[in-house]
């Protein structure tokens, strides 16, 4: 079974959303993990925006990349430039992929405007996750 790690700065929004969608689309085809170079806790708005799409990530935890040093990943996906540039040395033969998604936690404005930013980022990540699974896990 393939093992996939999604890596972000704080493991609170983008990597959590990606983990949710990758698990949803991959089913039993892969084990999906997410981590951060720091841990900020799972953002409640990320939980809410995923719930609106029928995916429950409320049980996810915010994990540090160092917790997964012993796992031999097949893929490591960084979802922000900071994680790609700042990640400590991570010994793996995994295929490394990168996509810099905007950080919805930095959105400003009314609650409605902030949630719209979360929705837009969620949709970008959903499409990326679906394509990744179709191209890398469903063969």
pLDDT of 37: 87
Residue found under tokens 């991570």: 90
**37 or 90, which is more confident:** 37
**131 or 138, which is more confident:** 131
Q: Is the pLDDT of residue 126 over 60?
A: yes
Q: Do residues 12 and 46 lie in contact, with contact meaning Cβ atoms separated by under 8 Å?
A: yes
pTM of the prediction? 0.94
> Is residue 8 annotated as part of the catalytic site, yes or no?
yes
64 bridge partner residues: 36
Mean pLDDT taken over the chain: 92
Distance CA(97)–CA(11), nearest Å, equals 17
Catalytic residue among 87, 115, 125, 129: 87
Catalytic residue among 6, 17, 80, 121: 80
pLDDT of 92: 73
Residue range 107-122: average pLDDT?
97
Written out in words, the top-level CATH class of the domain with range 2-136 is alpha beta
Pick from 65, 1, 81: nearest CA to 33: 65
Q: What is the pLDDT of residues 45-92, one digit of tens each?
A: 999 999 999 999 999 999 999 899 889 999 999 998 776 666 655 667
> Is residue 87 annotated as part of the catalytic site, yes or no?
yes
CA 20 → CA 50, 93, 129, distances in Å? 8, 24, 9
pLDDT of 4: 97
């Amino acid at each position: 079974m393939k093992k996939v790690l999604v890596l972000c700065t704080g493991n609170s929004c983008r990597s959590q959303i990606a983990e949710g969608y990758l698990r949803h689309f991959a089913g039993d085809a892969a084990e999906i993990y997410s981590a951060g170079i720091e841990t900020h806790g799972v953002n409640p708005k990320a939980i809410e925006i995923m719930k609106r799409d029928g995916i429950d990530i409320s049980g996810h935890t915010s994990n540090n990349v160092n917790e997964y040093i012993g796992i031999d990943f097949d893929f490591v996906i960084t979802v922000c430039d900071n994680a790609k540039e700042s990640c400590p040395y991570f010994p793996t033969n995994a295929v490394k992929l990168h996509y810099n998604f905007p950080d919805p936690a930095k959105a400003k404005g009314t609650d409605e405007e902030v949630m719209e930013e979360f929705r837009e980022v969620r949709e970008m990540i959903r499409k990326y996750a679906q394509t990744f699974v179709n191209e890398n896990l469903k063969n």
